Amino acid sequence: MPPVLRGFSPDLILVLNLAGTFVFGISGGLAAVRHSLDVFGAIVLAIVVGLAGGIIRDLLIGIPPATFRDWRYLAAAGGAGLVTSLGHPMIGRVQRPIDTLDAAGLSLFCVTGAATALTHRLGTAEAIILGAITGIGGGMVRDIVVREIPVVLRTGLYAIPALLGAGVVVLAYREGTHSTAFPIIGAGLCFAVRMAGLHYDLNLPAAKDVPDSVDPRRLRGRERRPK
């Protein structure tokens, strides 16, 4: 149990992690359905979304991926892909609850990911980044597999809430505060910001009307032009 999460029941943490894995797996399965993949493809994408974030985190830390040491994570992600492939018409009609559960999974994973990084004595910035990667890594790999620009890089507030949630946990721990309240606050902040982004369709500013090719010499000429 990571020190920052002491005071929480290990069984509760396991159940929440498995639930988050299942919910993330559903989003992977839905992506497979949208791209007309078969049942095997749906299961593969579900496993990618459910497990990739934690695997990337553990590999960057330099430890064996935890999800490979407990068959229940693989079963939860694979089961989500199977359920989605077979029942996607019904699942598609409950997108809003799935978005809510996805936000909850993101909130949980950014906190537990940051806590795992702190357990292995990583620096402040590294722990925050790895916490966010735990939550968003699976979705990024999913989009790359289906040849899309990762959603997290082009629309919606997704990475920002994960960074905020992980940041609360890491900064509180660095200040010597080991209260169980801060993981809850971090997860709550991540969830609130993500849901606000969904509800109000919030996005970060993006470059618009940029020509396909810009001559660097023209840009340098503009920089030298006196005001």
Question: Alpha helix locations (H) across 175-210?
Answer: 181-200
Query: What percentage of residues in the chain have a pLDDT greater than 90?
Result: 45
Q: Residue 165 falls within a domain, yes or no?
A: yes
Is the pLDDT assigned to residue 224 strictly greater than 70? no
Domain membership of residue 154 (yes or no) is: yes
Domain count, the chain: 1
pLDDT of residue 105: 85
CA 31 to chain centre: 15
Which pLDDT does position 215 carry in this prediction?
Answer: 57
What distances in angstroms separate CA 156 from CA 96, 103, 161, 194, 205, one per listed residue? 15, 12, 10, 8, 11
In a domain, 63, yes or no: yes
Instruction: Express each pLDDT in 70-117 by its tens digit.
Output: 999 999 999 999 999 888 777 767 667 778 878 888 998 999 999 899
Higher pLDDT, 154 or 78: 78
Asked if residue 225 is part of any domain, the answer here is: no
Other Cβ atoms closer than 10 A to 49: 33
Residue 219 lies in a domain: no
What average pLDDT does the segment 164-184 reach? 90
Residue 215 lies in a domain: no
- pTM of the entire predicted model: 0.83
Residue 217 forms part of a structural domain: no
Domain that holds residue 27: 3-203
Cβ atoms of 158 and 152 closer than 8 Å: yes
Mean pLDDT of the chain: 85
pLDDT-derived band at 195 (thresholds 50, 70, 90) equals very high
Residues 34-56: tens digit of each pLDDT: 889 999 999 999 999 999 999 99
- Quote the pLDDT of residue 12: 75
In which band, very low, low, confident or very high, does the pLDDT at 17 lie, cut at 50, 70 and 90?
confident
Give pLDDT, residue 8: 65
Residue 203 confidence (pLDDT) above 70: yes
Q: What is the pLDDT of residue 5?
A: 66
pLDDT over 60 (residue 219) = no
With contact defined as beta carbons under 8 Å apart, do 47 and 28 qualify? yes
Q: Judge whether residue 226 has pLDDT over 60.
A: no
Q: Nearest Cα to 6, choosing from 122, 134, 177, 185? A: 177
